[in-house]
Amino acid sequence: MTEDNSAVETEEAVEVPARPLPDNEVLRGLFEAFEDVGWGDSLGQDVALVPNDRWLEFATAAKGAGFEVCVDVTAVDWMRQRTERFEVVANLLSMQHRLRLRMITTAPRQEPTVASLVPVWPGVNFAEREVYDMFGITFEGHPDLTRILMPDEWEGHPLRKDFGVGTVPVQFKESHKVS
């Protein structure tokens, strides 16, 4: 008896690959169309973990599902804490459904590249230029990928974790008397 029970249990566990999906209908429809896009819940906020090569495709589908605004694109540098060094984050907003969705993808250590979202939302132009400037992540298909905040001849990308924070030595007024 015991042997039979355990056999049934294992079979059931194999048959039901539980892939978590959001409760919201709009989001559920979007995630069901993409098998390889994972859904996550980050403190009550919906997060889509998108593979790098599906970034533009998922963004297009998200816009079709009602996310008409991309409010922001930014990145996180994880250095050696993760295998894929960079994380690119896009915050989407749906005004008609009053929903927010955060798209996250990864970019490798060597020559980090992500598809540009400018063809989908023209408004991410500045934001992607800022990420390129600050992290050195290339956005393929961006019409004008130049530095935006730093000067052109600046070396390095300031928001990377291996870019040091400069300090200015402070000369106090009375210091010459002490020494």
Partner 1 sequence: MSDDAKTLDVWVAGTEEPELTPTDEGAQEISIDESGRRLDEQFGRVVEDDYVFDDDADEDERMILNMGPQHPSTHGVLRLQIELEGEIIRRTKPIIGYLHTGMEKTGEQLNFSQGGTNVTRMDYLAPFHNELAYSLAVEKLLGIEVPPRAAAIRVLLSELNRCSSHLVALATNGMDIGAISMMMYGFREREQILAFFEKTTGLRMNHNFIRPGGVAADLPPGWKDDVAAIIEELPRRLGQYDDLLENNPIWVARTKGVGVLSPEEAIAYGITGPTLRSTGVDWDIRKAFPYSEIEQYEFEVQVGEQGDVYDRYRIRVEEIKQSLGIVEQVMDTIPKGDFRVEDRKVTPPPRARIDESMEALIHHFKLFTEGYKVPAGETYVAVESPRGELGCYLVSDGGARPYRMHTRAPSFSNLQALPIAMADSLMADTVATIASLDPVMGDVDR
Would you say 34 or 78 has its CB closer to partner 1?
78
Tell me how far, at minimum, the Cβ of 75 lies from partner 1, in Å: 8
Tell me how far, at minimum, the Cβ of 87 lies from partner 1, in Å: 9
45-49/69-77 β-pairing:
unpaired
- What residues does 93 pair with on adjacent strands? 69, 100
State which amino acid sits at residue 166. Answer: G
Tell me how far, at minimum, the Cβ of 174 lies from partner 1, in Å: 26
Pairwise CA distance, residues 93 & 71, whole Å: 7
Would you say 33 or 149 has its CB closer to partner 1?
149
Whether the Cβ atoms of residue 99 and residue 74 lie closer than 8 Å to each other: no
Tell me how far, at minimum, the Cβ of 135 lies from partner 1, in Å: 11
Sites of contact with partner 1 (CB under 8 A): 42-43, 45, 68-72, 74, 76-77, 81, 89, 91, 95, 98, 100, 102, 118, 121-127, 130, 134, 143-144, 146-153, 158-159, 163, 165
Would you say 2 or 95 has its CB closer to partner 1?
95
What backbone phi and psi angles, to 5 degrees, belong to 30?
Answer: -65, -45
Pairwise CA distance, residues 37 & 35, whole Å: 6
